[in-house]
Amino acid sequence: MSAVGRREVRVSAEFERRFAPVSDRLYRYAFGLTRDRETASDLFHDAVLRAIGARDLPEADPAFRAWLFRIVRNLWIDGQRADRRRAGFDRELAEGEPAPARPGEHPVETGLVVREAFAMLSIEHQEVLALVDIGGFGYEETAQLLSIPKGTVMSRVSRARQCMFDLLAGDRVIPFPAQKSRNAR
């Protein structure tokens, strides 16, 4: 057995004990960022492998949880940057293409439109919406996870929601009302 294999076995009992309570939320966060099950699963597994391979684990459970979410976030940001470089997106060409057809009332079509709109948001807006609206984190917890002030989180969430509304306004997608009690945590 290789040294990596031995290390994995040695770390696994402690890692699994600490990871189990966080795993579902971590996957939901990955899904919130990617909006695709397969991509979320890949991101989730890459993050777990990165965490298992780490030399040291944060000692306190809240720090361990925040560390795991930062791994997912950083891997996702790296993937976004790589995708943008590979795509070589040319806005001038895109402006010359016909606009996509408006979706019907079918939920799958609506979901695709929402995913496309979400992908058009800045990385900062995507990550706060993924944490707050999809992951169910409060503003304070999101601020701690992203290492930014709570007011910045609140501002980004507000702007991101407005952006989503503006992007979806012509597509007959009805936004859910904000749930202040959930976000006030």
The C-alpha atoms of residue 169 and residue 176 are separated, in whole angstroms, by: 13
Can you tell me whether residue 105 is helix, strand or coil? coil
C-beta separation of 44 from 30 below 8 A: yes
Residue 59 has pLDDT above 80, yes or no: yes
| Of 91, 114, 136, the domain-final residue | 91
Task: Write the pLDDT tens digit of every residue in 115-160.
Answer: 788 888 998 999 899 888 887 888 998 998 888 999 999 999 999 9
The C-alpha atoms of residue 86 and residue 175 are separated, in whole angstroms, by: 33
| Of 69, 91, 113, the domain-final residue | 91
Residue 2 has pLDDT above 50, yes or no: no
The C-alpha R_g of the chain, in whole angstroms, comes to 19
The C-alpha atoms of residue 113 and residue 111 are separated, in whole angstroms, by: 5
| Of 91, 111, 139, the domain-final residue | 91
The tokens of 67 are what? 């560390």
Share of the chain above pLDDT 70, in %: 70
* pTM for the predicted model, two decimal places: 0.58
| Domain region containing 153 | 98-185
Question: Tell me, what's the pLDDT at 80?
Answer: 82
CATH of the domain at 177: 1.10.10.10
Residue 93 has pLDDT above 50, yes or no: no
On average, the pLDDT of the chain sits at 77
Mean pLDDT of the region 73-95 = 68
Say yes or no: 66 and 119 in one domain. Answer: no
Can you tell me whether residue 182 is helix, strand or coil? helix
